Structure 1
Amino acid sequence: MRLLLVVLYVLILPGLAHAAPKADLWPDWQAHDPSSTQVIDHGAWQDILDRYVTVIAPGETVFDYETARREAHAQVAGYVDAMSMLAVSNLNRDQQFAYWVNLYNALTVKVVLDHYPVESIRDIDISPGLFSSGPWGKKLITVEGRTLSLDDIEHRILRPIWRDPRIHYVVNCASIGCPALAPEAYEADKLEAQLDQAARGFINHPRAVTQAEDGAFVLSSLYDWYRDDFGKSDADFIDHLAQFAGAKLMAILGDARELDVANYEYDWALNQLSVD
């Protein structure tokens, strides 16, 4: 029996590790106050980003986990704890969106710092379930009396409430293949510009879209896992890319209405600052 379980683990785990949860709304989290003028201060998170995020290229950043673990582990934990004490249901929608995205990203950094050094966030194997991988299913925080995982924040709150494909460009999974951890905290009064900037940064980076010699496309696995969020048809998906594409990518896309996809790729290595 033990041998059978091991064989199943080896055969099934890779597929499960890449399976994307569906957007499944938890209705309680729809509560909000449109008239609220309360502004959440994300200054502590901004201070962390200022000190430990390095911009490598447009749409590409790294985080200095090694130094942050020594200097700012408690500060990251303190910000997460402070956010957990807020009554998020009393906020307006834009404040809520900024709250959840910043909390998701800070919680991801905290999880990595809690277990650092690791080569990949998938090595932090704390999610429940025999075939689970990584930290995404682990209940990590309590907000308004409800315990939440990273998966809960992304797939039960952010995606189903806002239904905006740009969400995928602003939640960071601490991996090189992931859209960049933004060097600026998300703010309610800047959301549209920040969301567009995140989308442009990722879409125009080679890890999102490249073209093979035979003309077929190599896409980020993000566009495989969450394809419906970006458009059910090839034409819809191309329109999404074109909305944020620069001149180089537009030249590649041309007037295509269908995509010949050669492969999907994703680099799960930790998005850490290299130390020579």
Structure 2
Amino acid sequence: LFDEPRIHFAIVCASRSCANLRDEAYQANILEKQLHEQAVRFINDPSNGVRWDRDNHRLHISKIFKWFKKDFEKKDISTGSSTRSIKSSQPVLRFIRQYIRNKEAIDWIDRGRDIRVSYLPYDWHLNDKAEKPRMDN
């Protein structure tokens, strides 16, 4: 089977809390780049992906990471940064670490500090364009 956790950011259900749709089709010759970009975009989206709460040392993460936890625990994706140095015992945090850009969150994950995790509310409403105003005739 397709053992790729980033698929959860590529093939989406079109709800508001899902990853944003790309404006291009997925292509075999650039698929790795596209999956990487989707993971970076989603994980760094504080509304739907991951939000760092520095005051409480808490990561608020998408419920996608809860529902598909086993997918994110299967393997670390190599992105050029060493995941072996990450001391976090939570595989989902190790996965997130590979894509998150918040330097303080990275530091807390890398040092294995006590990070609390909570889940963001999930909005199942359709991720469509706002309804156009009706014109009166």
Relative to the length of structure 1, the TM-score reads 0.38
- 2:127 and 2:106 map into 1 onto residues whose CA distance is 28
SS in 2 for 1:167: helix
Residue type of the alignment partner of 1:229: D
Residue 241 in structure 1 maps to residue 113 in structure 2:
no
CA contact (8 A) 1:234 1:259 kept: no
Aligned-CA RMSD value: 2.0
Residue type of the alignment partner of 2:121: E
CA contact (8 A) 2:10 2:19 kept: yes
- For residue 215 of structure 1, what is the aligned residue in structure 2? 57
Q: Which runs of 4+ in 1 moved over 3 A?
A: 232-235
Change over 3 Å in CA distance of 1:250–1:235 after alignment to 2:
farther
Cα distance, 1:171 vs structure 2: 0.6
Residue type of the alignment partner of 1:230: F
- 2:36 and 2:118 map into 1 onto residues whose CA distance is 27
Q: How many residues align?
A: 114
Cα distance, 1:252 vs structure 2: 2.2
- 1:263 and 1:243 map into 2 onto residues whose CA distance is 19
Structure possessing the higher relative contact order (Cα contacts under 8 Å, 6 or more residues apart) = 2
Q: Following superposition of structure 1 onto structure 2, how do residues 51-200 of structure 1 map, counting pairs within 5 Å?
A: 161-200=1-40
- Which of the two has higher C-alpha Rg? 1
Residue type of the alignment partner of 1:199: A
- For residue 40 of structure 1, what is the aligned residue in structure 2? none
Residue type of the alignment partner of 1:231: E
Change over 3 Å in CA distance of 1:259–1:163 after alignment to 2:
farther
Residue 224 in structure 1 maps to residue 66 in structure 2:
yes
Q: Deviations over 1:210-237 (max 9, x none)?
A: 1344222211110110111112784322
- 2:60 and 2:43 map into 1 onto residues whose CA distance is 12
Cα distance, 1:180 vs structure 2: 1.2
- For residue 116 of structure 2, what is the aligned residue in structure 1? 260
Change over 3 Å in CA distance of 1:263–1:239 after alignment to 2:
closer
Cα distance, 1:177 vs structure 2: 0.2
CA contact (8 A) 1:170 1:195 kept: yes
Residue type of the alignment partner of 1:226: F
Residue type of the alignment partner of 1:255: W
CA contact (8 A) 1:216 1:260 kept: yes
Cα distance, 1:189 vs structure 2: 0.8
Residue type of the alignment partner of 1:209: V
- 1:193 and 1:211 map into 2 onto residues whose CA distance is 25
Give 5+ residue unaligned stretches, structure 2: 75-87
Give 5+ residue unaligned stretches, structure 1: 1-160
Identity %: 32
Change over 3 Å in CA distance of 1:241–1:262 after alignment to 2:
closer
Tell me which protein shows more helix as a share of its residues.
1
- 2:123 and 2:103 map into 1 onto residues whose CA distance is 24
